Amino acid sequence: MMKQNYKIIVSYDGTRYRGWQKQTNTGDTIQGKLEALLSRMAGEEVAVQGAGRTDAGVHALGQTANFRMDTELSDRELMDAINGFLPDDIAVLSLKRASERFHSRLSAVGKAYCYRIYTGNARPVLSRRYVWNLGRELFTERMEQAAAYLTGLHDFKSFCGNPRMKKSTVRRIDSVKVWREPGEDEVRIRFEGNGFLQNMVRIMTGTLAQCGLFERDPEEIPRILEARDRSAAGPMAPACGLTLMEVKY
């Protein structure tokens, strides 16, 4: 008999973790923590499939995952039991029974990320784990100009952190919005698209920041895309400023 397929939405502070994907040399991954807990609860090995592999230090407000398990607990009881044993920096926000065909990664049609950049002089003490402490003024108009070139269907090989990537590096970016938080020394960038390559959002952010600092012209973005060469793009922004906001189905 087929085990019940469950869809969960997970939030986590990625500061002390080595990313989403489980690793043999450490238990400090989000997937590893979830699988270890669910396997203890089920009395057998439970595999957790995530919608995407967030890097070490990256956070999530709405990571989606799924797993199969036999239990007599209701959905609410199961979610409460999981949250009761998870560490304080990981939480299951939603747990629902899903169709047999649902797969958190293969069924996804899009993702949304948000990157936060602190531009003030004083250290951002309370938000230091969740922002890139740039400490310099950014000209958001220039960043918006550059961001417009990134939208649409492009080959993003120049923005891929994996030099040995064998699969297609073509992705569709639906929108890139840049704004300054009212009354705060913080610039935010929201990226939405059908999928993202390894380190892609962080490299795009680093490149947009160069434009905002007058270190690069916004009009260079098309040339960077055409180069299909990682060295043509800007630096990779720190992991701490990035949050996976939601996965779309």
b (16+ CB within 10 A) / e for 5-42? bbbbbbbbbbeebbbbebeeeeeebbbbbbbbbbbebe
Write the CA distances from 204 to 8, 147, 159, 236, integer angstroms: 29, 9, 6, 8
For residue 12, being part of any structural domain is answered with: yes
**What value does the mean pLDDT take over residues 125-134?**
97
Which whole number is the average pLDDT over 210-221?
Answer: 98
Q: Do 124 and 196 have their domain in common?
A: yes
pLDDT at 1: 67
State the average pLDDT over residues 186-199. 97
Helix extents (H) in 86-168: 140-150
Give the angle 116-121-124 at the CA atoms, nearest 5°: 50
Q: Which pLDDT value is given to residue 245? A: 98
Please indicate, yes or no, whether residues 241 and 120 belong to a single structural domain of this protein: yes
75 classed as catalytic:
no
Query: Phi-psi bin for 57: left (phi > 0), alpha (psi -120 to 50), beta?
Result: left
Q: What is the mean pLDDT of residues 86-90?
A: 98
Which domain-ending residue is among 98, 118, 153? 98
> Which residue range is the domain that position 243 belongs to?
110-248
145 in the same domain as 214: yes
Which one from 55, 70, 88, 229 is the annotated catalytic residue? 55
Q: How many residues does the chain have?
A: 249
Q: What percent of the chain has pLDDT over 90?
A: 95
What is the predicted pLDDT for the residue at 27? 86
Do residue 204 and residue 234 come from a single domain? yes
How far is Cα of residue 227 from the mean position of the Cα atoms in its chain? 25
Strands (E), the chain: 4-12, 48-50, 59-69, 90-98, 110-118, 132-133, 152-155, 170-180, 186-193, 242-248
Chosen domain end from 98, 125, 149: 98
- 40 has pLDDT over 90: yes
pTM of the model: 0.95
Query: What CATH number is attached to the domain comprising 50?
Result: 3.30.70.580
Domain co-membership, 52 together with 141: no
Q: Please, what is the angle between helix 140-150 and helix 200-212, to 10°?
A: 140
Instruction: Tell me, yes or no, whether 128 and 184 share the same domain.
Output: yes
The CATH code of the domain that includes 217 is 3.30.70.660
Q: Which two tokens stand for residue 207?
A: 């490149």
Whether residue 231 sits in one domain with residue 130: yes
Say if 104 falls within a structural domain: no
Same domain, 120 and 239: yes
pLDDT in tens, 136-175: 999 999 999 999 999 999 999 999 999 888 899 999 999 9
